[in-house]
Amino acid sequence: MDPATPPPQKQLRPLLPAQPGQWPVPGLPPGRKPGGACDHCRRRKVKCDGARPACKYCTKRGLACRYPTLEGETRSQALKRKYGELQSLEDPYVRVFAALRDRPEAEATALLRRLRQSDDVRFLARQIEQGDLLLQLALTPETNYRYEFPLKTTMPIHLLTPDNHYLDSLVYEWAPSTRPRDPPSSSALASLDVLTQTPYLKPFHAARVVHPLLDRVCPSRWTTVSADDKLMRAILEAYLLQEYHSYTVIQIDYFLDDMANMRDELCSPLLVNAVLTFACSSFRPFPDRVKYWDPATLGYRFFAETRRLWDLESDKASIPAIQAAVIIHAYYCLCGLDMLGWTYTFRAVQMGHAMNLFNGCPGPDTTPRMHNAAGFVAWALYSWQA
């Protein structure tokens, strides 16, 4: 080549805008091709450029280009989607087959007759499901509480005597395989007062506390431990259903009224945290409720807040502080720390004397409401320390 002759210019491909149906595909990152080939290229095992809505191969031959994947969908994602679609198509058949296999002979025959009359399988499966729901709603729940002999699953042989009235009581419903026990006759049940047998025929653990103020209270306004008002209402309901009857130191109507209306006469953050602490120890949804030493439990956090507030308020005599002191003592008793708990009761008695509660005269300007609450707390404190 003559050195004076300039070298030929390299032919470069002109930069043109992408034509409709070519890359890039909307929804994909730049430089990434869509996953999966069209049906024609897959069947003929030729390389597919994946252009949407039609690839180059199908466009050149005038074929209808169809993709098994959606736009911007990879092959693995398409396979999962197809599998889900097949599962949804198969589900009605599975339910109808299970009904034909498991239902009584008369129901299975009726289902098969309807299926042979060209009923749609999806419609038949939906009717089976809806019929089961209606049947469940029509059932009456079992209310009998079947007690077992204390600490044993079977009754000892020497107690299986005709004169054992425990076996014939409504409290204990006993039916061993050796001697079936007939239920009480209708005449015997009719002779009993309905109100006297109701507690035995309806289990206590299935009861619910109904109080007009319980749904109005917002415990999160009285504690910094939790902001879940729904959970804390459930804990308060469990307290009213269980511990409240054994450790009655709070007049519940006054307590909930002040708690709902943000009054501090008969309610305080100290008292609310003490009640929640005591209730957490037996709240069934908490699996670790008995681990009072575990900082991860909600009861431990409530108790830490209770002790902090007690250190700030124990020098001020008030009805909520007296009630909180008794509840703290009861909680220490549950933890096996009785002697430590007595210090709180001693302080509560000192507060009661300072407020003149045991003489029936809390003060000259005491309202009837506060007078009733003071008398209630005086008797509760006397009963507790006695």
pTM given for the model = 0.51
Decide if 95 contacts 103 (C-beta within 8 A): no
Closest CA to 220 of 144, 278, 305, 341: 305
Closest CA to 307 of 280, 285, 277: 277
Interatomic CA distance for residues 239 and 363, integer angstroms: 32
* Same domain, yes or no: 267 and 170: no
28 pLDDT more than 50: no
Residue 231 in any domain: the answer is: yes
CA angle 248, 265, 237 (to 5 degrees): 40
Would you state the pLDDT for residue 94? 82
Would you state the pLDDT for residue 346? 92
* Same domain, yes or no: 128 and 149: no
Would you state the pLDDT for residue 70? 62
Give me the chain's average pLDDT, please.
76
Percent of the chain past pLDDT 90, that is, above it, reads 17
Residue 239 in any domain: the answer is: yes
Number of domains the chain is built from: 3
Residue 154 in any domain: the answer is: yes
Would you state the pLDDT for residue 97? 83
Question: Which tokens belong to 327?
Answer: 């509840």
* Same domain, yes or no: 378 and 237: yes
Residue 5 in any domain: the answer is: no
- Helix, strand and coil in the chain, % to nearest 5: 55, 0, 45
* Same domain, yes or no: 372 and 262: yes
The three-class DSSP label of residue 12 is coil
> Phi/psi of residue 56, each to 5°?
-65, -40
Cβ contacts of residue 38 below 8 Å, gap of 6+? 48, 50, 55, 57, 58, 65, 66, 67
* Same domain, yes or no: 161 and 122: no
pLDDT, tens digit, for every residue of 100-149?
888 888 888 888 888 787 667 777 777 777 766 555 555 555 555 555 56
Decide if 359 contacts 382 (C-beta within 8 A): no
Residue 260 in any domain: the answer is: yes
* Same domain, yes or no: 162 and 244: no
192 pLDDT more than 50: no
* Same domain, yes or no: 102 and 236: no
* Same domain, yes or no: 160 and 293: no
* Same domain, yes or no: 239 and 265: yes
Residue 321 in any domain: the answer is: yes
275 pLDDT more than 90: yes
54 pLDDT more than 90: no
166 pLDDT more than 80: no
25 pLDDT more than 50: no
The three-class DSSP label of residue 337 is coil
Q: Cα 47 to the chain's mean position, in Å?
A: 55
Residue 132 in any domain: the answer is: yes
Residue 117 in any domain: the answer is: yes
* Same domain, yes or no: 295 and 262: yes
* Same domain, yes or no: 311 and 162: no
344 pLDDT more than 80: yes
pLDDT grade for 32, boundaries at 50, 70 and 90? very low
Find the domain containing 173 and state its range: 140-186
* Same domain, yes or no: 236 and 307: yes
pLDDT grade for 223, boundaries at 50, 70 and 90? very high
